[in-house]
């Protein structure tokens, strides 16, 4: 049955995840091409498009990285097709190069870039504020706050992009991507708009003589869109009083609830900034009329606050501008409580500390962990056996980053997607120490391969370990160029990693199953004796992905037949989550055991038995 | 209209998010202004899963001291999340444990049920502990432990709708093959709450 997201049922209300609502909004805006690199909190947007791609009237692709996704999307939009490109906030750094020029040359078919920011670092290495990219590249910026707005703003962003040719930024944050709420559907366009590409060198080929002109044209387009923002239904004023509050993104939700709980709805003047860039200066000026103070609410950086401050100074308006400070930090997420506190400060009320019992200290932590039977765990185990603390470990972004925890302790430093090979190379070169770079298969295709080519070219002394589990496991098992099959069927044109590594000029390459302890050890010992760029590919499918795609698990499980010291040693050094220590004895939880049979190779006290027997 | 904030906490793989979705869908079908929040990402790998359902609010987030109801799908996680409860709120929790790795390897201790009960009773107007996994197995599947907990919460009037609405949702939104087991699980949870 086709997804209800594809149905022509205007007026129907569905309970949707923010990310699903974005998909529907793009469809209502006539999207015809979607590209992405997955990354939490954006992943469910492309995943939903992927699952519906047999029934939907659009082209979808998982690209190898964000730069490629934007470049492919730009091509589609240049050819006249309304396009959505999705990624997480750090992905936009990867795509920044084409982005800053695409906004010069324009994308006539209409292009919306979804940047899913992550204040609070729920699943990211930093919490950068990507509204800076709107200012840097010259992109109009929409900031939805609810599931309904996720749909409606995506549609409007795509329509604006189609009308003006200017690429548009849809900036969400984790809470908005993962909100679930009622969404009333609009109608889907009866026919797709597809513009014809009209050759125009001055417009589309940014040699310096053209770029100089294009920059000024970009500023003119932004000014025109700024004039539209003055009257946009997404920028609206409500309430009255001498205190004004300007709020953008999810802070608009916290503000609404804070006003409700403080019992001051209507007696504070509020400006909702939904289309938050370019700033509607006329609207801001008329909003400030008659106000004594204005409080600005925005997560992370004070972009709106500083703009309002500068605008007031330029126009000689005497007004107190409140924003970042004690109650409202430059880091992390806001909350209703925080906004209540800021409102109370602004109103000169006493502070309101919510009553609650103190968070319990000293509780056993529950950090995320490599799964039972995860092939990365056995790969790490054997590497530690052979190299121990002698080597330094350069890590990368993926499930395998979880190997940083003891007892595996397999990450000494980490920078960004694809950095393990290149940062490891630099580290080895400067320190002269044995350095091992770990990289997953999807990350290798994303941007690890360029680092490997560099290592060959500059003869870096690094052992690269490709942890190839045949999928992009971290973000939900999305396919990449090397996978055997996808949710939609077999992958007919596979890019194999080993020949690719050889073609890069790496002389010493071994592919081995990390679940084969003896063979893995042998491969590692061989590589330990060598110098220069060398690669081991540890290849075994992600245990969860394999179970889901084949529909069956492995037939056997491990049992601890006798619980001696050897058994305890394996528990302490492998730390498989299927092991339980009870009264000094080791037991294997049959429900958790995946049947990888790795522990049997480490100690004779582990035996195999038929599952359920 | 009665506003409500419900905080869900559990361990990845327990069905915490499925339960959250079921409560949201039921609220929507009952015509309530519902919004819900979840944090994904590490959920599959045995980490903590926290989610929210709010009725009558716009924000999807709950901070310390704000929750009217704390639904704990795992005992240790109930204790960890107790600070989200507002004074006099209600706690409905699984009384059974899923030990984290540090406990399984004997490096950390797991709190006693009675200690958690005492702390919850001190913070809440009502604190209910139900052996969800055992009852779920009685219902026919350990996977329905999350529904047992919902049944218990509904039976003590802690959810913004009645048992009939919840039963309707189980029939409407769960796979037909699972509906009977989960209806039984709801009833067993409700029974445990009332005894």
Cis upstream peptide for A41 (omega within 30°): yes
Would the CB atoms of B35 and A13 count as touching at under 8 Å?
Answer: no
The Cα A186–Cα A208 span in angstroms is 44
Is beta strand A489-490 parallel, antiparallel or unpaired with respect to A485-486? antiparallel
Question: Using alpha carbons only, how large is chain A's radius of gyration in Å?
Answer: 27
Contacts of A352 in chain B (CB under 8 A): none
Q: Report how far Cα A170 is from the mean position of its chain's Cα atoms.
A: 14
Residue A443's CB is within 10 A of a number of other CB atoms, namely 26
User: Among the listed ranges A440-454, A455-469, A536-550, which one has the minimum average pLDDT value?
Assistant: A536-550
Task: For residues A255 and A267, give the distance between their C-alpha atoms in angstroms, rounded to a whole number.
Answer: 13
CB-CB: which of B102, B109, B122 is closest to A365? B102
Mark yes or no for CB contact B104/A580 under 8 Å: yes
- Establish if A121 touches chain B: CB-CB under 8 angstroms: no
Q: Tell me, yes or no, if A367 comes closer than 8 A to chain B by beta carbon.
A: yes
Looking up tokens 């769960």, which residue turns up? Answer: B174
Of B120, B142, B131, the closest CA to residue B189 belongs to B131
Tell me which of A48 and A581 has the higher pLDDT.
Answer: A48
Q: What is the DSSP letter of B14?
A: S
CATH architecture of A556-610: 2-Layer Sandwich (3.30)
* pLDDT of A364 above 70: yes
Judging contacts by C-beta atoms under 8 Å, the chain B residues touching residue A357 are: 82-83, 85, 119, 122-123
Interface of A with B in 569-588 (CB under 8 A): 571-572, 575, 577, 579-581, 584
**Band of pLDDT at residue A1, cut at 50, 70 and 90:** confident
Averaged pLDDT, A461-489: 92
A residues 423-482 closer than 8 Å to B (CB): none
Query: Nearest Cα to A149, choosing from A184, A187, A112?
Result: A184
Residues of A in contact with B66 (CB under 8 A): 336-337, 354, 356
CATH architecture group of domain A4-230: 3-Layer(aba) Sandwich (3.40)
Under 8 Å between Cβ of A498 and A445: no
A 479-508 → B contacts, CB under 8 A? none
Question: For residue A203, what is the enclosing H or E element?
Answer: helix A201-204
Average pLDDT over chain B, rounded to whole? 94
Residues of A in contact with B84 (CB under 8 A): 356
Query: How many Å from the N-terminal Cα to the C-terminal Cα in chain A?
Result: 39
CB within 8 Å: A179 and B36: yes
pLDDT, one tens digit per residue, over B151-176 is 999 999 999 999 999 999 999 999 99
Which residues on chain A are in Cβ contact (under 8 Å) with B47?
366-369
- Provide the residue ranges of all domains of chain A, joining segments of one domain with +: 4-230, 235-347, 375-550, 556-610
Instruction: Give A 222-281 residues with CB within 8 A of chain B.
Output: 250, 252-254, 256-257, 260
Q: Do domains A235-347 and A375-550 have the same CATH topology?
A: yes
Residue of A nearest to B104 (CA): A580
Lowest-confidence pick of A81-90, A457-466, A583-592: A583-592
Q: What would you report as the CA-atom Rg of chain B, rounded to the nearest whole angstrom?
A: 15
Alpha helices in B30-158 (DSSP H): 75-81, 101-104, 113-123, 132-139, 145-155
**Which CATH number applies to A235-347?**
3.40.50.920
List CB contacts of A519: < 8 A, sequence separation 6 or more.
Answer: A512, A513
Which residues on B lie below 8 Å from A584 (Cβ)?
A: 106
Q: Give, for A308, the enclosing helix (H) or strand (E).
A: helix A303-314
In this prediction, what percent of chain A has a pLDDT beyond 70? 100
Mutate to test the interface with B, among A356, A471, A574 (most CBs of B within 10 A): A356
> What torsion do the CA atoms of A196, A202, A207, A210 make, to the nearest 10 degrees?
-140
For the residues of A443-457, what is the DSSP string, one character each?
HIIIIIHHHHHHHHH
Sign of the Cα pseudo-torsion (B138, B140, B145, B149, in order): negative
Residues 535-564 of A with CB under 8 A from B: 544
Q: State the DSSP code for B44.
A: G
Residue for token pair 């139900």: B130
Q: Which of A106-115, A551-560, B122-131 has the least mean pLDDT? A: A551-560
Tell me which residue in A254, A338, A363 faces B79 most closely, judged by beta carbons: A363
C-alpha closest to that of B26 among B191, B150, B194: B150
pLDDT of residue A469: 95
Tell whether the model's pLDDT for residue B43 goes beyond 60: no
| Nearest Cα residue in chain B from A591 | B142
* Residue B100 to residue A333, Cβ atoms within 8 A: no
* Residues in CB range of A190: below 8 A, 6 or more apart: none
Q: Does A1 touch chain B (CB under 8 A)?
A: no
For position B1, what pLDDT does the model report? 59
Tens digit of pLDDT for each residue in A366-420? 888 899 999 999 999 999 999 999 999 999 999 999 999 899 999 999 999 999 9
Chain B positions in Cβ-Cβ contact with residue A259 (cut-off 8 Å): none
What's the confidence (pLDDT) of residue A346?
97
How much is the pLDDT for B40?
67
The answer to whether B110 contacts A575, with C-beta atoms less than 8 Å apart, is no
Place of tokens 């605008």: A311
- Identify the residue among B27, B34, B52, B59 best suited for mutation to test binding to A, counting A beta carbons within 10 A and taking the highest: B59
Domain spanning B4-194 has what CATH number?
A: 3.40.920.10
Mutate which of B13, B58, B100 to test chain A, going by most A C-beta atoms within 10 A? B58
Contact A179 B11 (CB under 8 A): no
- Do A363 and B80 make contact, defined as CB atoms within 8 angstroms? yes
- In a mutagenesis test of the B interface, which of A173, A357, A568 is the best target, namely the one with the most B β-carbons within 10 Å? A357
Residues of A whose CB is below 8 A from B8: none
Pick the CATH number of A375-550 from 3.40.50.1820, 3.40.630.30, 3.90.1150.10, 3.40.50.970: 3.40.50.970
Q: Which residue of A has its CA nearest to B103?
A: A364
The nearest CA of chain A is from the CA of B140 a distance in Å of 16
Task: Name the phi and psi angles at B161, rounded to 5.
Answer: -155, 170
CB A245 within 8 A of CB A297: yes
Token digits of residue B191: 């029974």
Nearest neighbour of A360 by CB, restricted to B34, B80, B103: B80
Q: Do B36 and A335 touch (CB under 8 A)?
A: no
Q: Where are the domains of chain B?
A: 4-194
* C-alpha to C-alpha distance for B167 and A528, rounded to whole angstroms: 62
User: Cα dist. A133→A141, A277, A419, A559 in Å?
Assistant: 9, 11, 22, 54
Q: Burial of A24 by CB count in 10 Å (0-12 exposed, 13-18 middle, 19+ buried)?
A: buried
| ipTM score | 0.95
Instruction: Report the Cα A425 to chain-centroid distance in Å.
Output: 26
pTM, to two decimals? 0.96
Instruction: Give the C-alpha separation, B22 to B30, whole Å.
Output: 12
Residues of B in contact with A333 (CB under 8 A): 61
Question: Which residues, in sequence order, are bridge partners of residue A128?
Answer: none
B182: tokens are 């989960």
Which chain A residue has the Cα nearest residue B119? A357
CB atoms A364 and B11 under 8 Å: no
Q: What is the band of B115 on the pLDDT scale with cuts at 50, 70, 90? A: very high
Contact A328, A230 (CB under 8 A): no
Chain A residues with CB under 8 Å of B86 CB are: 354-356
Residue by residue, DSSP assigns A541-599 as --HHHHHHHHS---SEEEEESS--HHHHHHHHHH--TTEEEETTEEEE-TTT------H
d(CA A20, CA A31): 14
Which residue, A23, A28, A30, is CA-closest to A8?
A28
């Amino acid at each position: 049955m086709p997804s209800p997201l594809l149905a022509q049922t205007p007026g129907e209300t569905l309970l949707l995840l923010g990310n699903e609502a974005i998909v529907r909004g793009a469809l209502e805006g006539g999207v015809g091409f979607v590209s992405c690199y997955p990354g939490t909190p954006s992943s469910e947007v492309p995943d939903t498009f992927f699952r519906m791609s047999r029934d939907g009237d659009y082209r979808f692709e998982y690209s190898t990285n964000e730069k490629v996704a934007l470049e492919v999307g730009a091509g589609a939009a240049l050819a006249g097709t309304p396009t959505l490109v999705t990624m997480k906030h750090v992905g936009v750094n990867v795509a920044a190069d084409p982005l800053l020029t695409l906004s010069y040359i324009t994308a006539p078919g209409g292009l919306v870039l979804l940047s899913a920011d992550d204040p609070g670092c729920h699943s990211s290495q930093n919490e950068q504020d990507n509204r800076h990219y709107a200012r840097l590249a010259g992109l109009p910026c929409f900031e939805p706050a609810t599931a309904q707005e996720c749909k409606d703003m995506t549609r409007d962003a795509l329509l604006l992009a189609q009308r003006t040719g200017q690429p548009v930024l849809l900036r969400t944050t984790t809470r908005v991507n993962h909100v679930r709420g009622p969404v009333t559907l609009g109608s889907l366009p009866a026919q797709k708009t597809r513009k014809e590409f009209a050759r125009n060198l001055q417009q589309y080929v940014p040699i310096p003589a053209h770029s100089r002109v294009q920059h000024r044209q970009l500023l003119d387009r932004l000014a025109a869109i700024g004039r539209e923002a003055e009257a946009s239904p997404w920028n609206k004023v409500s309430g009255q009083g001498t205190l004004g509050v300007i709020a953008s993104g999810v802070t608009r939700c916290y503000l609404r609830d804070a006003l409700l709980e403080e019992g001051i709805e209507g007696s504070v003047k509020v400006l909702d900034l939904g289309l938050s860039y370019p700033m509607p200066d006329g609207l801001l000026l008329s909003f400030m009329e008659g106000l004594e103070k204005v409080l600005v609410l925005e997560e992370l950086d004070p972009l709106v606050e500083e703009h309002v401050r500068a605008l007031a100074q330029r126009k000689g308006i005497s007004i107190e501008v409140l924003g970042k400070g004690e109650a409202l930090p430059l880091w992390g997420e806001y909350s209703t409580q925080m906004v209540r506190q800021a409102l109370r400060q602004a109103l000169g009320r006493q502070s309101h500390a919510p009553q609650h019992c103190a968070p319990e200290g000293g509780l056993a932590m529950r950090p995320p962990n490599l799964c039972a039977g995860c092939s990365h765990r056995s790969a790490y185990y054997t590497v530690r056996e052979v190299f121990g603390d002698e080597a330094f470990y350069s890590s990368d972004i993926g499930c395998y980053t979880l190997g940083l925890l003891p007892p595996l302790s397999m990450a000494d430093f980490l920078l960004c997607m694809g950095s393990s090979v290149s940062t490891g190379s630099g580290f080895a070169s400067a320190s002269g120490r044995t350095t091992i770079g770990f990289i997953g298969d999807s990350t290798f295709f994303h941007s690890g391969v360029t680092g490997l080519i560099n290592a060959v070219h500059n003869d870096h002394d690094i052992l690269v370990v490709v942890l190839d589990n045949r999928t992009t496991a971290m973000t939900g098992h999305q396919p990449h160029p090397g996978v055997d099959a996808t949710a939609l069927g077999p992958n007919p044109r596979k890019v194999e990693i080993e020949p690719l590594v050889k073609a890069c000029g790496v002389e010493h390459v071994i592919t081995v199953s990390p679940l084969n302890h003896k063979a893995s050890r042998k491969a590692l010992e061989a590589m330990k004796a060598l110098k220069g760029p060398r690669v081991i590919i540890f290849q075994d499918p992600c245990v969860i992905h394999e179970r889901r795609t084949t529909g069956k698990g492995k037939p056997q499980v491990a049992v601890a037949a006798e619980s001696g010291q050897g058994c305890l040693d394996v528990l302490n050094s492998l730390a498989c989550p299927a092991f339980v220590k009870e009264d000094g004895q080791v037991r294997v939880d049959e429900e958790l055991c995946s049947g990888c049979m790795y522990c049997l190779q480490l100690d004779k006290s582990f035996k195999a038995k038929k599952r359920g027997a | 209209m009665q506003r409500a904030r419900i905080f869900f906490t559990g361990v990845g793989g327990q069905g915490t998010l499925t339960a959250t979705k079921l409560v949201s869908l039921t609220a929507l079908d009952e015509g309530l202004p519902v919004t819900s929040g979840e944090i994904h990402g590490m959920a599959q790998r045995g980490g903590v899963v926290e989610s929210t359902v709010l009725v009558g609010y716009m924000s999807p987030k709950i901070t310390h001291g704000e929750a009217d109801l704390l639904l704990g799908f795992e005992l240790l996680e109930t204790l960890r999340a107790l600070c989200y409860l507002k004074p006099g709120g209600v706690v409905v929790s699984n009384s059974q444990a899923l030990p984290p790795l540090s406990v399984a390897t004997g490096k950390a201790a797991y709190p006693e049920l009675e200690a958690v009960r005492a702390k919850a009773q001190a913070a809440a107007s009502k604190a209910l502990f139900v052996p969800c996994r055992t009852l779920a197995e009685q219902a026919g599947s350990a996977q329905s432990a999350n529904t047992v907990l919902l049944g218990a919460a509904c039976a003590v009037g802690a959810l913004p709708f009645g048992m009939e609405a919840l039963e309707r949702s189980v029939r409407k939104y769960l796979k037909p093959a699972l509906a009977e087991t989960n209806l039984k699980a709801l009833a067993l949870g409700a029974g445990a709450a009332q005894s």
